[in-house]
Amino acid sequence: MYFKPAGVPLRELEESVLEMEEVEALRLADLEGQYQEEAARSMGVSRTTFSRILDSGRRKVADAVLRGKAIRISNGLPEQDAPELPCKVLGRCPMCDQPLETTETG
């Protein structure tokens, strides 16, 4: 799964790759607001390991946002947590940024 700047084809962008453990650390700390000790227990790692994973994820997100890179989530997101794909929401292909042809029935 990719997140990228709008209007720029994916093939023209550098990418920053987030590992699933980094995504989970970001979710627990930044979205859920858990303290590092609690989040580390949830992930089954030490607090220092959690801190390292979280710092790595935050650096990658900051790098992508500030330098206009695509963010690729390694192995995608779990199905229930995955947002609508950009092509479904924006009507554009996330790889080439071309409009998608749609057919409406009804």
The three state secondary structure string of 36-98 is: HHHHHHHHCCCHHHHHHHHHHHHHHHHHHHHHCCEEEECCCCCHHHCCCCHHHHHCECCCCCC
pLDDT of residue 1: 86
pLDDT for the residue 74:
87
Q: Which structural domains are found in the chain, ordered by start?
A: 2-90 (1.10.10)
State the pLDDT at residue 104: 46
pTM (two decimals): 0.69
Structural element, H or E, at residue 22: helix 20-26
Under-50 pLDDT residues of the chain: 79-89, 103-106
Q: What is the pLDDT of residue 92?
A: 58
